[in-house]
Amino acid sequence: MKFVIANWKMNGNFELVNQMMNGIGKGRDCCKVIVCPPAALITSFKGFEHDLGAQNCFYEEKGAFTGENSPKLLKEIGCKYVILGHSERRAIFHESDELIFKKWNVAIKCGLTPIVCIGETLEERDKWKDVLAAQLASYCADKSLDLHKTIFAYEPIWSIGTGKVPSKREIEEAIGFIKGIIGSERDYYAVYGGSVNGSNSSEILSIDGLDGVLVGSASLKISDFNAIINSVSA
Ligand code: PEP
């Protein structure tokens, strides 16, 4: 089974919600579709046949945190997943690995499955293993930590929204590295994100050990997103 995860970022509107509600089929057993729209659109997906996720949450369940999204409420309004530590949040909102791990803990407590994004910048490319190891350190420190099916998304920052995609061998190596340091006995998945589209998805999805893809811009066009879903082989 492969995940196909849509990250709309701060895009989309009611029209796109309707298109997605009507435009993507029931899916197949080999594919789990998760749509992560902006928080303000989540409740518009009433009766949606696939799963919903949020793009971020706060590290407390409730309280005096004006403007933040409660993980508990996200769960109550129908989210099953939450993206944490997306590179845009790390870069623009200065989110640290420590903060992301705090959010991970509260998301788990509230019954959300975290989708934790990791990945190196272009400048860090020659030391990508060190970067990924540091970003994963909190999840690796204690091998008995229950990962509760966390989805780790390898998203090289130089690939996001650029049309530049690592080679199949490079993605396979990164996924192997992630699975190697987290450990094979634990309860998690590893997906790839960065310029995935309907033309490259079947090759990417055929990578050994890869559990799916996280899709940004190509998830905003129903025909492109459908092409990615349909490229998952049964
Ligand atoms: C993302 O931002 O998570 C992403 C994968 O974007 P894109 O597919 O547009 O590169």
Ligand 1 atom nearest 7 alpha carbon: 3
**Average pLDDT value for residue range 213-231:** 97
Measured CA to CA, the distance from residue 61 to residue 103 in angstroms comes to 10
Question: 184 CA distance to ligand 1 centroid (A)?
Answer: 27
According to the model, what pLDDT value does residue 28 have?
77
One-letter amino acid at 79 equals: C
Q: Which helix (H) or strand (E) holds 215?
A: strand 212-215
Distance CA 65, CA 69 (A): 9
Ligand 1 atom closest to Cα of residue 88: 2
Question: What value does the mean pLDDT of the chain take?
Answer: 97
pLDDT of residue 67 exceeding 80, the answer is yes
* Beta bridge partners of residue 79, listed in sequence order: 52
What residues are annotated to the active site?
Answer: 86, 155
Binned at pLDDT 50, 70 and 90, residue 131 comes out as very high
User: How close is the Cα of 6 to the center of ligand 1, in Å?
Assistant: 9
pLDDT at residue 221 in the model: 97
The model carries a pTM of 0.98
Instruction: Please state the atom number of ligand 1 nearest to the C-alpha of residue 83.
Output: 3
pLDDT above 80 for 27: no
Q: What is the pLDDT of residues 182-211, one digit of tens each?
A: 999 999 999 999 999 999 999 999 999 999
Q: Return the CATH fold of 2-230.
A: TIM Barrel (3.20.20)
pLDDT of residue 168 exceeding 90, the answer is: yes
- 78 near 97, Cβ under 8 Å? no
Domain-wise residue ranges, the chain: 2-230
Q: Note the pLDDT of residue 199.
A: 97
> What pairs with residue 214 in β-bridges?
5, 193
Closest protein CA for atom 4 of ligand 1: 216
In which band, very low, low, confident or very high, does the pLDDT at 25 lie, cut at 50, 70 and 90? confident
For ligand 1, the distance from its centroid to the CA atom of residue 64, given in whole angstroms, is 32
Looking at residue 141, the DSSP 8-state letter turns out to be S
- The DSSP annotation for 98-118 comes to HHHHHHHHHHHHTTPEEEEEE
Residue nearest (by alpha carbon) to ligand 1 atom 2: 216
